[in-house]
Amino acid sequence: MSEDPAADSHVGIVIVGGGATGVELAAELYNAAAALAYYGLEVFDGSRLEITLIEAGPRILPALPERLAEAAKEELETLGVRVLTGVKVTQAVPRAILTEGGERIEGDLLVWAAGVKAPDLLAGLDLETNRSHQLVVRETLQTTRDERVFAIGDCCSYTPPDSDRPVPPRAQAAHQMARAVFDNLVRAMAGRPLRRFVYRDHGSLVSLSRFSTVGSLMGSLVGGRMAIEGRLARLVYTSLYRMHLIAIHGWLKGAALLMVGRVNRIIRPRLKLH
């Protein structure tokens, strides 16, 4: 046994939810552990982490093609993550997660990354909600009980007529909904008929920190969905982030922020401790 207690310490982390949030967090924790050496904590690295990722479905990353989901799982397991699929959580108790199969999974930190729940406030507005307290909306994104109320993003639930599942609570869905509601508000004020919201899935990218990136894009040039991984996926992921930054702040400020970020990568610590 080492004289330094930290040399033999382990940190157990249990993450519930094998979607993009849970998978990205699991990988990023290993990147953060490696960065601790820059702060003088050389005795603690990724080998001291004991991370368990629990997914109730048959596989992680259900939004991605099965091949990419399997590649992500292999990458996580290479890092040291214990990936459990087809396991349902029944209860969270202090420092442990209990599963339907009777297993008790210990953890110093328990993280819930499974699904979206709207604020309880919405359940008391006398509007139709689902079990997650999301407002149920029609094809124009108006609530079913009051056409004067529109809802977008994670706080609403819309199931297209040709689907048996609601539009997923993703950033791209919220962005498309915002544009649709703006257009319908303009139309409503002008006395024109409202348009039906049509969700277009442009694909998903999941970053496994510096280790890898996987994803799928709607490849209009090649037809259908295009699966990408590795350096190409990482390049696309970074490019989309830069486009998002420019869209929010404009070209001038966006370019300045990107330049500052580039400089900070060189002169600033690799991990924030606040």
Residue 51 to residue 112: CA distance in whole angstroms: 13
Structure tokens at 56: 């109730």
Residue 87 DSSP one-character state: -
- Checking if the pLDDT of 226 tops 60, the result is no
Residue 123 to residue 129: CA distance in whole angstroms: 6
Question: What pairs with residue 12 in β-bridges?
Answer: 50
Predicted local distance difference test score (pLDDT) of residue 4: 53
Residue 60 DSSP one-character state: S
First vs last Cα of the chain: how many Å apart? Answer: 32
Calculate the CA dihedral of residues 22, 28, 34, 35 and round it to 10 degrees. -140
**pLDDT tier for residue 224 given thresholds of 50, 70 and 90:** very low
Which stretches of the chain are assigned E, i.e. beta strand? 11-16, 49-55, 82-85, 89-93, 96-99, 104-106, 109-112, 135-136, 156-157, 203-208, 212-218, 225-229
- Checking if the pLDDT of 7 tops 60, the result is no
Q: What does pLDDT average to over the chain?
A: 84
Least confident of 33-42, 144-153, 166-175: 33-42
Predicted local distance difference test score (pLDDT) of residue 222: 38
SS3 content of the chain, % helix, strand, coil (to 5): 40, 20, 40
HSE, side-chain direction, 13 A CA sphere, residue 261? 10
Q: Are strands 82-85 and 89-93 parallel, antiparallel or unpaired?
A: unpaired
| pLDDT-above-70 percentage for the chain | 80
φ, ψ (nearest 5 deg) of residue 60: -80, 165
**pLDDT tier for residue 219 given thresholds of 50, 70 and 90:** very low
- Checking if the pLDDT of 88 tops 60, the result is yes
φ, ψ (nearest 5 deg) of residue 64: -105, 160
Cβ proximity of 39 and 270 under 8 Å: no
- Checking if the pLDDT of 262 tops 80, the result is no
Question: If you average pLDDT over residues 103-109, what whole number do you get?
Answer: 96
- Domains of the chain from N-terminus onward: 9-112 (3.50.50.60), 120-189 (3.50.50.60), 203-267 (no CATH)
Question: If you average pLDDT over residues 222-233, what whole number do you get?
Answer: 52
Which stretches of 158-244 are assigned E, i.e. beta strand? 203-208, 212-218, 225-229
Cβ proximity of 174 and 155 under 8 Å: no
**pLDDT tier for residue 66 given thresholds of 50, 70 and 90:** confident
Element (H, E) at 260: helix 230-267
> Most distant CA pair in the chain: distance in Å?
78
Residue 97 to residue 90: CA distance in whole angstroms: 8
Least confident of 118-132, 171-185, 229-243, 253-267: 229-243
In tens, the pLDDT along 165-189 reads 899 888 889 999 999 999 999 999 9
Q: Which amino acid is at 9?
A: S
User: Which one has a higher pLDDT value, 11 or 255?
Assistant: 11
Predicted local distance difference test score (pLDDT) of residue 218: 55
For residue 156, how many other CB atoms are within 10 A of its CB? 25
**pLDDT tier for residue 71 given thresholds of 50, 70 and 90:** confident
Question: If you average pLDDT over residues 155-161, what whole number do you get?
Answer: 95
φ, ψ (nearest 5 deg) of residue 201: -80, 110
Least confident of 82-86, 143-147, 189-193, 257-261: 257-261
